[in-house]
Structure 1
Amino acid sequence: MNQNATEEQITTLLRQGLSNAAIVRELRCDKNRVSRIRRKHGIPNVPLQPLTLEEKWTTNTRPVDGGHLEWTGERKSISGTPAMRYREKPYTAAAIAFRIRHGRDPKGYAFAECGLHHCVAPDHVDDEPGRARTREQLRYLNGGRERKPYCPHGHDQAVHGRYQEDGRAYCEKCKRQRARSARQEVAS
């Protein structure tokens, strides 16, 4: 928390029309202090977001070559995932892109596999079941056969079966068990 943000800095941003939350994010200062300064100077609260979720999303995108959309808005700090808040609720930009295209929220993670890192073009974004269908179709197009119902270790592939980007099948449960074993070996 930045205790060095001056009242003048806060007042300047308030007069520019920023919300309390935006000022807290920008100056990393106490939200109660921003509220007190707003009241002290008689500056009214920012009206609620007049845009729909999709309209706000659109204001944070920019077209790039190849039909891709680049995200110009905020990002999650650690992963760099394009994200935004709408009416105090967090969303990923890819989840909104999926919703724009399909009219429903994604199942699992939504992201694009078009080659542009963090592309948010609605036509490029898919959810987990959609990616699984596409990868399975790719498997067949590349001459692959239908996935067996159980992996060599007996895991049900209807539950644990996944496909890599190139269509190759694998067992997610086996993959997690191998990773766990590798971590345990490193720890000991």
Structure 2
Amino acid sequence: MHIRQDLADLLAAGHSDRAIARQLNVDAQATVAVARHALGLPKAKPGVRPAATAEILFHRRTQAADGGHLRWKGSVTRGGLPSLRHGGRNLSAYRIAYRIAHGREPQGKVLPTCKREGCVQIGHHADRGDRARAQDRAAFVRAWNRGRTKAILAQRARAETDRAREQRLEDLFDAIFGDQR
């Protein structure tokens, strides 16, 4: 029996007879079931297939929103945080978005940085380490600005002192030598 290559590929990928029949516009019983039997493949398991990874499940449950944000379409906790269940565990959508963006597990609590409630856009989250580094940078900038202000004020004071000293020397010179210049 000759079996179409596209039919064999879909069967090997684990698609159901009905799904293959719809996609290839063939009869499920006469064509797909016979090909499955000829290839020695078992019947496809019914129901929705679980996502291979939490990241795939994350992308299935998001929807683009205005302003470059992602809206969460999945379940939320009692506290209103976006979450999903994968591998028998409840996972935070914020943590998954952070892991996708940074390629590592977050440290501590993950919070959105864009101030948009419930945003799960990849790259819009910070963990404890990121927030600490941002606070350090802000403190450095504040200190730098205070130091620069002090330095500018000190420079101005030195300039005023220098001008006053030059004026006193000129007055003294005029007092000693008069108009002999």
Relative to the length of structure 2, the TM-score reads 0.50
Aligned to 1:91, what secondary structure does the other structure show?
A: strand
* Match status 1:66 vs 2:32: no
Cα distance 1:123–1:87, how it changes in 2: closer, same or farther (>3 A)? same
Tell me the CA shift for residue 69 of structure 1.
Answer: 1.3
Aligned to 2:134, what secondary structure does the other structure show?
A: helix
Moved over 6 A (4+): none
| Aligned counterparts of 1:141 and 1:117: Cα–Cα separation in 2 | 28
Cα shift readout 1:135-161 (whole Å, capped 9, x = no counterpart): 22123334478xxxxxxxxxxxxxxxx
**2:113 alignment counterpart:** 113
Query: Where do 5+ consecutive residues of structure 2 fail to align?
Result: 1-44, 146-181
Tell me the CA shift for residue 95 of structure 1.
Answer: 0.2
The answer to whether the 8 A contact 2:110-2:125 is kept is: yes
Cα distance 1:66–1:135, how it changes in 2: closer, same or farther (>3 A)? farther
- Report the identity percentage: 31
| Aligned counterparts of 1:135 and 1:102: Cα–Cα separation in 2 | 19
**1:99 alignment counterpart:** 99
Cα distance 1:137–1:90, how it changes in 2: closer, same or farther (>3 A)? same
**2:52 alignment counterpart:** 51
Cα distance 1:66–1:141, how it changes in 2: closer, same or farther (>3 A)? farther
Aligned to 1:57, what secondary structure does the other structure show?
A: helix
**1:135 alignment counterpart:** 135
| Aligned counterparts of 1:122 and 1:108: Cα–Cα separation in 2 | 18
| Aligned counterparts of 2:127 and 2:51: Cα–Cα separation in 1 | 28
Aligned to 2:84, what secondary structure does the other structure show?
A: strand
The structure with the greater share of residues assigned to helix is 2
**2:76 alignment counterpart:** 75
Cα distance 1:144–1:46, how it changes in 2: closer, same or farther (>3 A)? farther
Alignment size in residue pairs: 101
Cα-Cα RMSD? 2.1
Amino acid at match of 2:134: T
Tell me the CA shift for residue 48 of structure 1.
Answer: 5.3
Cα shift readout 1:94-150 (whole Å, capped 9, x = no counterpart): 0000100111111101111211012111211111011111122123334478xxxxx
Cα shift readout 1:36-64 (whole Å, capped 9, x = no counterpart): xxxxxxxx774651432111101111122
The answer to whether the 8 A contact 2:62-2:70 is kept is: yes
| Aligned counterparts of 1:48 and 1:98: Cα–Cα separation in 2 | 25
The answer to whether the 8 A contact 2:51-2:57 is kept is: no
The answer to whether the 8 A contact 2:72-2:120 is kept is: yes
Cα distance 1:71–1:47, how it changes in 2: closer, same or farther (>3 A)? closer
| Aligned counterparts of 1:138 and 1:66: Cα–Cα separation in 2 | 26
| Aligned counterparts of 1:114 and 1:90: Cα–Cα separation in 2 | 24
